[in-house]
Structure 1
Amino acid sequence: MANQEPRVLIAYGSKYGSTKEIAVHIGEVLNKAGCATTVCPAGEAATDLSAYDAAVLGGGLYAGRWHRDAVRLAHRARRSLRKRPVWLFSSGPLDPSASEREIPPVRGVRRIADRLDAEGHITFGGRLDESARGRIARMIVKSGKGGDFRDFGQITGWAQTIARDVAARTGASRGT
């Protein structure tokens, strides 16, 4: 496999699209670094991940819980995920805290990370704007607590470390 591009699945659970945009950005960074990526909603991902060398699984945080599609994929594909390196990310804080300090995973995500023997987890800031649907989301935006708190420099750096790790594990010839 030394000259083959490492294959990475990036699956996400997203309600309003912010987590999807983070997953797409991670995919772009990994592609640029020489990985062949598939970015898809967690609800559509296969449970047999034998076609992939690694996986990144992300979920938006809602009321302190990971998006249900990300949780379901982690459970459904557990055997397959445990056979390859997997990284987890959460998105959600509607303030700059995720760019200022490391935020530990919420309890449910920590359990998933332990069960999958994940390589790591990171929490990125979230985004919630006036286009958000749902009564609670609209109330948050109207109260002035909405906005875009994603740090794409931080996301890029994290994705580059994954690309280097995957390349080292698979013997891929292209570096970051």
Structure 2
Amino acid sequence: MRVIVLYASRYGSTKGIAEFIAEKLRQRGVQAEARSVDAAPDPGDYDAVVIGSAVYMGHWMKEAVEFVRRNRTALTGMPVWLFSSGPLELGPEIASIDDPKLEPEEISGFLEAIHPRGHRVFFGALDPGKLGFMHRTLRKLPAARAILPEGDFRDWNNIEAWAESIAHALATQPVAPA
């Protein structure tokens, strides 16, 4: 079973999640690799695909959206899981990481178009030293620092449990040949 874990990551947090998922899949006996969507791999070369993107202002990164749209036909015929990395913490109007308000805008269209087996939102990380000029400038504003706290908020136990559920699904549900 060959699985590719694809990611679109601006500052490395989402890439770290993708690499962690691929490693957990390998530990469960799945041949898995993590690669950027920019590498433009052919999903048809794999038995299953996991795709994740950093989320900014409620949207997946353009590169990830374009990858899904460009490969819609191939992705529709195979097991696919999606993940989003973005919130750094829960706000007063959001009670849990599973709150539908955290779902990026593109996900509902992806659910309809490619029928993924699941979508999960994970907390991200913010290292001010890795930020680009625009985000560094934005974080100088007190209000921005309040809503963009510094730190690593990724819940590795939650991510590991999700990766293990994917490995279990792949082991118990045979994949139809392409």
Q: TM-score band, normalised by the shorter chain?
A: 0.7 to 0.9
User: Is 1:168 the counterpart of 2:168 in the alignment?
Assistant: no
Secondary structure of the 1:50 match is: helix
User: Is 1:140 the counterpart of 2:144 in the alignment?
Assistant: no
The residue that corresponds to 2:81 in the other structure is: 87
1:129 to 101, 112, 127: 127
The residue that corresponds to 2:57 in the other structure is: 63
User: Is 1:11 the counterpart of 2:6 in the alignment?
Assistant: yes
**Distance across 1 between alignment mates of 2:155 and 2:140:** 19
The residue that corresponds to 2:98 in the other structure is: 102
Amino acid across the alignment from 2:70: R
**Distance across 2 between alignment mates of 1:164 and 1:16:** 30
Alpha-carbon RMSD across the aligned residues, in angstroms, is: 2.1
Going from structure 1 to structure 2, the CA distance change for 1:16 and 1:35 (only over 3 Å counts) comes to same
- What runs of 5+ residues in structure 2 fail to find an aligned partner? none
Instruction: Report which stretch shifted further, 138-147 or 89-98.
Output: 138-147
**Distance across 2 between alignment mates of 1:127 and 1:110:** 25
Alignment of 1:106-125 (within 5 A): 106-125=104-123
The residue that corresponds to 1:3 in the other structure is: none
- What runs of 5+ residues in structure 1 fail to find an aligned partner? 1-5, 172-176
State the TM-score, normalized to the length of structure 2: 0.85
| Aligned length, in residue pairs | 165
Contact map agreement 2:97 2:121 (CA 8 A) in 1:
no
Amino acid across the alignment from 1:32: Q
Q: In percent, how many aligned pairs have the same letter? A: 36
The residue that corresponds to 1:32 in the other structure is: 27
